[in-house]
Amino acid sequence: MKKIILDCDPGHDDMIAIILACSSDEIDLMGITTVAGNQTGDKTFINTLKVLTLINRIDIPVARGFDKPIFRKLTVAPRIHGVSGLDGADLPEPNIELLERVKTLDIHAVDFIIKSVKESDEKVTIVPTGPLTNIAIALLKEPSIKDNIDRIILMGGAVYDSNITPASEFNIYVDPEAAKIVFESGIPITMVGLDVTNKAILTFKDIEELNNLQGGVSGVIAPLLKFFAQANKDFFGIGGAPLHDALAVSYIIMPDIIKTKYLNVTIETEGKYTRGRTVVDVYNITGKEPNVDVAFEVNSLAFKKLIKNTIKKLDQR
């Protein structure tokens, strides 16, 4: 069982990442920290509380983080996730007890990450699935936490693919300076980028199958995923819902689900047209030391099965 902290910006695919992290026997979810990205910080925070309420996991600690990148103005993604960040169905309002506990906890995401890592009796895996602002600031504020972080398994970047610009992936693009701090931290990193996550898809047929279950969880998740799938089809021509963030979490549950190569990755922070590009040295042209395990292959069928089974099990709880 791995102790993890999930840092996210729900977001439809973040929602599935939360569901996986809460449901797997392989994961000890220490807490969820939220960051602005797919939508503004207030919305990604509330969306997280709504998802935990839906799956009845109001025991999970939640701490809200930054509402904007370190230097740049915030970029959100309403075309893909809608105005709420989770358009497509009405999630339950956050459970009052959970809201009260979060208010009592009253800790910033950065301080929650620092405190949790420092106090953990075993090394912690950090799983960022949004812009890396919280992680970068935590590393700057308390560098010693590096000694108790086993690995950062992040959804972000790409070797050849892109989405927010022709050169970059959204999470890295939003806060490239934060990404640079994380990628240069010396902490072991697994980069689960678009090259594999755009193959980790629930098709419209898969989503219809979930919708037909009409369970307490599937009945809400299915229309949300249908909205997300339609947005991805309309904008990128993808044949369903690419569950980017859920693949990063599934790698903890099933380490064979992706194959990686150990390569040098640098982050472009200055390019006029290439801001946020993860520059992956596939052929070791620079001769620079590798620093990232980069995902190149994915077992899409195993992934799809994991997602469906997890949602079906939650219906039965």
Q: Which CB atom, from 64 or from 263, has the smaller least distance to Ca ion?
A: 64
Nearest to 127 by CA among 226, 207, 41, 31: 31
Does an H or E element contain 250, and which? helix 244-253
- Tokens (6 digits) for 252: 């903890």
Can you tell me which of 23, 34, 38, 134 binds ligand RIB, judged by CB under 6 A?
38
Residue 281 binds to ligand RIB (criterion: CB under 6 A) = no
Report the distance separating Cα 60 and Cα 17, nearest Å: 14
Q: Which CB atom, from 58 or from 77, has the smaller least distance to ligand RIB?
A: 77
Nearest to 78 by CA among 170, 162, 204, 148: 170
Give min distance, CB of 45 to Ca ion, in A: 14
Give min distance, CB of 237 to ligand RIB, in A: 16
Tell me the site size for ligand RIB, rule CB under 6 A: 15
Which residues ranging from 193 to 232 are in contact with ligand RIB (CB under 6 A)?
none
What is the x/- site pattern for ligand RIB, positions 244-263, by CB under 6 A? xx------------------
Rg (CA), the chain: 18
Residue 44 binds to ligand RIB (criterion: CB under 6 A) = no
Residues 29 and 21: beta-carbon distance below 8 Å:
yes
Residue type, 42: D
User: Considering CB distances under 5 to 8 angstroms, the limit depending on partner class, which of Ca ion, ligand RIB, none binds residue 82?
Assistant: none
Nearest to 160 by CA among 201, 194, 197: 194
Half-sphere exposure of 37 (CA within 13 A, CB side): 35
Could you tell me whether strands 201-203 and 240-242 are parallel, antiparallel, or unpaired per DSSP bridges? antiparallel
Residue 24, phi-psi category: left (phi > 0), alpha (psi -120 to 50), beta (remainder): beta
Q: Which CB atom, from 31 or from 130, has the smaller least distance to ligand RIB?
A: 130
Residue 129 binds to ligand RIB (criterion: CB under 6 A) = yes
What is the x/- site pattern for ligand RIB, positions 140-159, by CB under 6 A? ---------------x----
Residue 309 CB contacts under 8 Å (≥ 6 apart), including other chains: none
What is the x/- site pattern for Ca ion, positions 214-253, by CB under 5 A? -------------------------------x--------
Give min distance, CB of 308 to ligand RIB, in A: 20
What is the x/- site pattern for ligand RIB, positions 9-28, by CB under 6 A? x-x-xx--------------
Strands (E), the chain: 2-8, 27-34, 62-64, 124-128, 149-155, 189-192, 201-203, 240-242, 258-267, 278-281, 292-298
User: Considering CB distances under 5 to 8 angstroms, the limit depending on partner class, which of ligand RIB, Ca ion, none binds residue 169?
Assistant: ligand RIB
- Tokens (6 digits) for 271: 């390019």
Q: Which CB atom, from 210 or from 243, has the smaller least distance to ligand RIB?
A: 243
Report the distance separating Cα 229 and Cα 227, nearest Å: 6
Can you tell me which of 41, 65, 130, 215 binds ligand RIB, judged by CB under 6 A?
130
Nearest to 264 by CA among 195, 184, 194, 171: 184
Q: Which residue has the tokens 């979490």?
A: 249
Q: Which CB atom, from 216 or from 223, has the smaller least distance to ligand RIB?
A: 223
> Which residues are known to be catalytic?
244
Q: Which CB atom, from 14 or from 195, has the smaller least distance to ligand RIB?
A: 14
Residues found near ligand RIB in the complex (CB under 6 A): 9, 11, 13-14, 37-38, 129-130, 155, 163, 169-171, 244-245
